[in-house]
Amino acid sequence: MTIKIENLTLSYGDSVAVRNLSLEIEQGEALVLLGQSGCGKTSTMRCIAGLETPDEGRISVDGEVLFDADRGVNRPSHKRNIGMVFQSYAIWPHMTVFENVAFPLRMKKLPKAEVARRVEEAITVVGLDGFAERGASMLSGGQMQRVALARSIVMEPSVMLLDEPLSNLDARLRHRLRTDLRELQHRLGLTAVYVTHDQEEALALADHIAMMQFGRIVQIGRPDEIYGRPLSASIADFLGVANIIPVRPLDARSVGFEGTDIGIQVEPYDDRAGELRACIRAEDILLGDDAPAESANTLEGEIVAREFLGATATFRVRIAPGVELDVFGTKQQANRTREGERVRVHLPVEAIQVLPTEAPELAEHVREGAA
């Protein structure tokens, strides 16, 4: 079941939620739409579901057109055969678990025996055996999520949409259900589209991640690619890169921190993209004795804050006025050092990425908007 979205645009009045978005999702693949709230990820999902009517574009599943603005095709939601797990789960509280799960089959007017059999199967698949006659308002959050899954699985949907499926659960449960969800998706070979704002959840669930900003996909790729090679400083920031420092180009292999004389060596970068940022993850920086003494990228700084986190510790090191680095260290380092001490830090060349503030297409759009 290949899902193909072409040039999708959705606006509410004057504000554009999704702009000219194209995307393809393969059979059996899990794609995560990742981005901050208001980036258009939920709107994109609701367009696939048919709960929003896009202004422009085309959506098809396996060559079958569900929506086409140019040809005036807009198949209603209930005829799309797309499963959806809502953020609130939307379990109907006035029905039992069985009735909730049986709903899609009853809408198709299937014979009673078949309904009973398939509901039983679906309930077993999600691990809720024995809960069939339980009233839906008596369920816990995790159980509700399972019912919502079963309800969509039972209809054998061409694709499953899951809107922030784990955000309503507490941390421990979230971790377990995330693994369950991934396992279930693989076992049943489901084509799935997730929406989330949580990068960890996205990395864990996805075959591919589509990073969204301002209604556009700004980067798409495998989780490790997205994590390792963000395309812009704002994506890096969203992905939890702790150090994003304004720099100016010096030559092809080095940059200088803005407002200082300090220069560091970096890998080749593109200096045509306007303002540049050096992006370095806190865990990639070497601290104290770990830092090689004689190296171009070894700097000296003063510890301004220390946070003991148990197994690890974080340090904030001031390299120059206005330039501070967040660095992960060990608990031993935390015990040995004090605020105000001077320490060495080393920035490995391969850990530094010099990136434009915004992705190229987005930068263009921002300029368009400003004009």
Partner 1 sequence: MTTHTSPPDATGVITTPRGSKRRPASSAQAQPRKVAGIVALYGVLGILILLPVALVVLSAFTSETPRPGNISLSNFTLSNFGTVFGPGAMRAAGNSLLVGLGGSAVALLCGGFLAFVTARTNAPARKFLYFAGLVPMFLPSFVGALAWGLLGGPNAGLLNILARDLGFAPFMNIYTLPGLIVLLGIYYAPYAFLLIHASFSLMNPDLEESARVHGATPGQVLRRVTFPLATPAILGAAILIFTLTVENFPVAQMIGSAGGLDTLPTYIFRLMNSAPSRGNEAAAVAIALVLVVLIVTALQRRVISKRTFTTVSGKGLKPAKVDLGWFRVPALILGVLYFVITAVLPIGALLFVAMHDSPYVASVIGSIQAGNLNFNAFAEVLTNPTAHKATMNSLVVSISAAVIGTVIAFIVSYVVNRTRVPGRAGLGYISMIPLAVPAIVLGLGLLWTWLLIPLPVYGTLVVMVIAFTAAQMPQGFQGASAGILQIHQDLEDSAVMHGANRIRAIWRVTVPLLRVPLTSTFLLLLMLSMRELTVPLFLFTTDTRLLSIVIFDNYENGILQSSAATSVLYCVLIFLLAWLARRFGEERQRTS
Residue type, 51: L
Q: Which residues pair with 96 in a beta bridge?
A: 135
| Nearby residues of 190 by Cβ (< 8 Å), 6 or more positions away | 28, 30, 153, 159, 160, 184
| Among 1, 16, 38, 55, contact with partner 1 (rule: CB under 8 A) | 55
28: left (phi over 0), alpha (psi -120 to 50) or beta: left
Q: Which residue, 115 or 245, has its beta carbon nearer to partner 1? A: 115
Residue closer to partner 1 by CB (options 266, 359) is: 359
Largest separation between any pair of C-alpha atoms in the chain:
78
Token code pair at residue 365: 């759009």
Piece in contact with partner 1 (CB under 8 A), picked from 150-158, 165-173, 246-254, 301-309:
150-158
Question: Is the CB of residue 126 less than 8 Å from the CB of residue 151?
Answer: no
Residues 106-135 that bind partner 1 (CB under 8 A): 107-108
104 or 301: CB nearest partner 1: 104
Residue 56 vs 198, nearer CB to partner 1: 56
- In the three-class reduction of DSSP (H, G, I as helix; E, B as strand; rest coil), residue 174 is classed as helix
CB of 219 to partner 1, least distance (A): 6
Of 206-214, 261-269, 272-280, 283-291, the segment contacting partner 1 by CB under 8 A is 206-214
CA atoms within 13 A on the CB side of 366: 11
**Pairing verdict, β 276-280 and 243-251:** antiparallel
Residue from 14, 15, 63, 71 binding partner 1 (CB under 8 A): 71
x/- binding map, residues 75-104, to partner 1, per CB under 8 A? -xxx--xxxx-xxxxx-xxx--------xx
**What's the token pair of residue 59?**
């959506």
Question: Which parts of this chain interact with partner 1 (CB under 8 A)?
Answer: 6-7, 9, 20-24, 26, 29, 49, 51, 53-57, 67-74, 76-78, 81-84, 86-90, 92-94, 103-104, 107-108, 148, 151-152, 155, 207-208, 210-211, 216-222, 225, 229, 231, 359-361
